[in-house]
């Protein structure tokens, strides 16, 4: 009798414990100078917690590798030495820089990691900007063609003495893609990972789409657009992320490589596509290109769509989105 009871109750007990721990597991932390958010669905407490933790560990790993503010980062060491001699870097950094150069070519130079040759002189927190003399003397250092990559040796050489690079326009997207790959390898099927303006979704929100908002560039608490999305990524670049105002002018963190000054044609750009890395770079590139050239770029890039809020606060949709 007791044996039979156990047989009957055992599966019942199992299914009860299964449904009790099936839940959304979440975490939020400040890493890479931005807000990192992760949400995963798991039917196992341990896996759920391990998964959110693994995402944060990956974000911190990339921060230590690519931050220009950490003197020991691979990026800082590269900037320190690559104008004197070719510097050997990790495969990961080499490939992200190589991809960045490809994207410079695809975007007529709008996306250019050598923007930092001038960009490093801005300190948005301290409200500091370079003088006009500094900008004009360093402007020629902004040019991705100064970067000489040797894929055999995995080295990078700066062919101009004043070049600096910064991966702020692509590293967060890369981190989000890596985080999603880690979650997938752990068997997670429903997740959201956000790093600042870069979000990627794994699956849906269990039978429902994820509702992802694009904020109003001038009102942090208002949404300009809300999109139902699943299994895709979305990145937004905005002139409100890092900026200060002086003499009625907004000095913000997205610079036109041609002028060395902030780009003013639009207030925000959101890109929807499968790769968070590409969305991140494209949102920055389209921001610099402006409405007409930016939309032309998106309309000839299969799989990538965009929404622009221009400087008159008017919304523009790329062709595929406008037709929906």
Binding site for ligand ADP (CB under 6 A): 111-113, 115, 166, 168-169, 172, 196-197, 237, 241-242, 253-255, 257, 280, 283-284, 288
CB nearest ligand ADP: which residue?
168
Smallest CA-to-CA distance from 270 within 293, 301, 294 is with 294
Minimum CB distance to ligand ADP smaller for 48 or for 119: 119
Contact of 42 with 188, CB cutoff 8 Å: yes
Torsion of CA 78, 279, 238, 96, to 10 degrees: 0
Q: What are phi and psi of 36, to 5 degrees?
A: -105, 130
Question: Is residue 100 a contact residue for Mg ion (CB under 5 A)?
Answer: no
Q: Using the rule CB under 5 A, which residue among 58, 74, 112, 280 binds Mg ion?
A: 280
What is the 3 state secondary structure string of 42-72? Answer: ECCHHHHHHHHHHHHHHHHHHHHHHCCCCCC
In the complex, minimum distance from the CB of residue 145 to ligand ADP, in angstroms, rounded to a whole number: 14
* Number of residue whose CB is nearest Mg ion: 284
Q: Is 280 part of any known ligand binding site?
A: yes
> Per the annotation, does 306 bind a ligand?
no
CB of 23 to ligand ADP, least distance (A): 29
Minimum CB separation of residue 248 from ligand ADP in Å reads 22
- Is residue 262 close enough to count as binding Mg ion by CB under 5 A? no
Nearer to ligand ADP (CB atom), residue 52 or residue 279: 279
Sheet holding 198-202, edge to edge: 23-31, 34-42, 191-195, 198-202, 233-238, 266-273, 305-310, 315-317
Beta bridge mates, 26:
39
The binding site for Mg ion (CB under 5 A) comprises: 169, 237, 280, 283-284
């Amino acid at each position: 009798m007791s044996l039979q009871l156990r047989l009957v109750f055992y599966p019942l007990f199992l299914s009860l414990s299964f449904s009790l721990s099936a839940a959304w597991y979440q975490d939020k932390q400040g890493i890479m100078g931005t807000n990192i958010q992760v949400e995963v669905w798991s039917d196992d407490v341990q896996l759920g917690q391990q998964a959110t933790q693994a995402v944060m560990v990956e974000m911190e790993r990339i921060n230590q590798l690519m931050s220009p503010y950490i003197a020991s980062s691979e990026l800082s060491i590269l900037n320190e030495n690559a104008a004197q001699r070719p510097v050997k870097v990790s495969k990961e950094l080499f490939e992200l820089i190589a991809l960045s150069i490809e994207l410079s070519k695809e975007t007529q130079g709008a996306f250019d990691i050598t923007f930092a040759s001038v960009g490093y002189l801005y300190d948005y927190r301290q409200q500091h900007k370079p003088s006009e003399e500094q900008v004009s003397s360093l402007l020629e250092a902004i040019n991705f063609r100064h970067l000489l990559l040797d894929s055999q040796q995995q080295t990078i050489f700066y062919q101009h003495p004043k070049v600096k690079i910064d991966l702020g326009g692509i590293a967060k997207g890369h981190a989000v893609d890596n985080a999603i790959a880690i979650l997938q390898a752990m068997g997670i099927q429903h997740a959201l990972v956000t790093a600042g303006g870069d979000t990627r979704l794994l699956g849906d929100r269990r039978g429902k789409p994820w509702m992802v908002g694009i904020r109003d560039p001038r009102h942090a608490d208002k949404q300009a657009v809300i999109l139902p999305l699943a299994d895709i990524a979305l990145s937004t670049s905005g002139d409100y992320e890092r900026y200060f105002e002086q003499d009625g002018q907004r000095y913000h963190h997205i610079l036109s490589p041609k002028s060395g000054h902030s780009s003013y044609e639009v207030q925000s750009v959101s890109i929807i596509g499968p790769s968070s890395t590409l969305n991140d770079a494209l949102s920055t590139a389209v921001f610099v290109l402006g409405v007409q050239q930016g939309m032309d770029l998106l309309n000839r890039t299969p799989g990538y769509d965009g929404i622009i809020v221009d400087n008159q606060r008017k919304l523009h949709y790329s062709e595929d989105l406008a037709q929906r």
